[in-house]
Structure 1
């Protein structure tokens, strides 16, 4: 029997803000541990859909997404979240694919064939409503974070993790609690944070704070329904105090 994720129903778009939906997927195994999966969908003013961190999809999910509008952009935001991108590219060849630095190299090392895609630069913008900012300063992982102005939502991948231990197997629950990446105020995983230059990271956090987000979606754990600016500030309080 497959263990539930606690975020059911799965593979169903769920409204999370103005022209924004989240889709929770099944657990995947990463280093032998179960991680919940989530993608985010934004409807742009043109009516086209921007798909962030696409998850493995079946026909029912493809149909549900298509009902929201035509898929015009597909984004692999860091070098860990790319595995399902080729499936979405094959399904929607007319969509423009975007990949964060490091995605192509990691995919190639795992023999995952990514189709035509543009590498994300330091900043990006889609139709004036969706901003992207590349978090640099780590030799291990670069992630582009996003802010959707109409919903005042921060769209993250692994930059913040906010697990609910009650929704995880016992061992995984203990590990995330020990790492401090648990609800209600999750934070950047300590092993990831240790790879960053502090000055560079502080600058990226300040950029996100300047957006004044009200809510936030992350790929792993419980989304922040409110108070995202204050929660983000608490997650990096010590770093910000060093300025």
Structure 2
């Protein structure tokens, strides 16, 4: 936990502590989190969905280079950006659609500096491509592709929890939501909100990147067969139902 784990030259993951989220029927659950760090061509660091702040992690990052970008990929992944911004005041905090409203509703004190758009900003266009995964009436997510390592970086579009690492309650919820390893996918409550045509178009864009591995914010990542895993995880887009 809180340790940089190299995936390929210039890209690392960090497993963070569990976070709480409200579950159906008023139940609160805790589940694991993961951030992704990319070293850009200019030496600066790009941090996707920052995990809880920790002194040892900050020290390790400072040895790599300056933290320049703090990215909220969707409106649920913002919790620790304010703390990271205090540690790295010159870093740009990037907002996803709806995250400002969500943070305000939750009483979170956070100020974003810029908004993510369909095309990558100049700051990281040389290293990362991106896509606004559209089609949902409740939440959209920005997905990213690290070109050098051919790594697809996701937050919640695929969740793939390992059963043995979950408490009993979360196993039941995960099975209901269809997000248990080895058949992880978009959670059921989010799946039902998608307009399929828009989502299929976005999936085609992701497949066109020809990713070789997929990093997830929650659960086991896919270190191989990435294209096949994408097709499997999003097979519900081609069915008449969401299961």
TM-score by length of 1: 0.91
Residue 206 (str. 1) matches residue 204 (str. 2) = yes
Q: Name 2:159's counterpart in structure 1.
A: 161
* Separation of aligned partners in 2, 1:174 and 1:138: 25
> Which residue in the other structure is 2:232 paired with?
234
Inter-partner Cα distance in structure 1 for 2:42 and 2:57: 22
CA distance in 1 between partners of 2:116 and 2:125 (Å) = 16
How many Å separate the matches in 2 of 1:20 and 1:144? 18
Q: CA deviation at 1:241?
A: 7.2
The structural deviation recorded for 1:109 is 1.1
Unpaired runs of at least 5, structure 1: 1-9
User: How far off its partner does 1:238 sit?
Assistant: 4.5
Secondary structure (helix, strand or coil) at the match of 1:124 reads coil
Aligned to 1:22: 13
Let me know the Cα RMSD of the aligned residues.
1.4
Shift of 1:137: 1.7
Match of 1:48 among 38, 44, 47: 44
**Which runs of structure 1 show a deviation greater than 3 angstroms over 4 or more consecutive aligned residues?**
none
Q: Which moved more, 1:159-168 or 1:122-131?
A: 122-131
Contact (CA 8 Å) 1:89, 1:115: kept in 2 or not?
Answer: no
Q: How many residues align?
A: 233
User: What is the 5 A alignment of 1:178-193?
Assistant: 178-193=176-191
**Structure 2: segments with no counterpart, 5+ residues:** 23-27
- CA drift of 1:175 comes to 2.3
Output the TM-score relative to the length of structure 2.
0.91
SS at match of 1:144: strand
1:187-208 C-alpha deviation (Å, 9 max, x unpaired): 1111111111110111111110
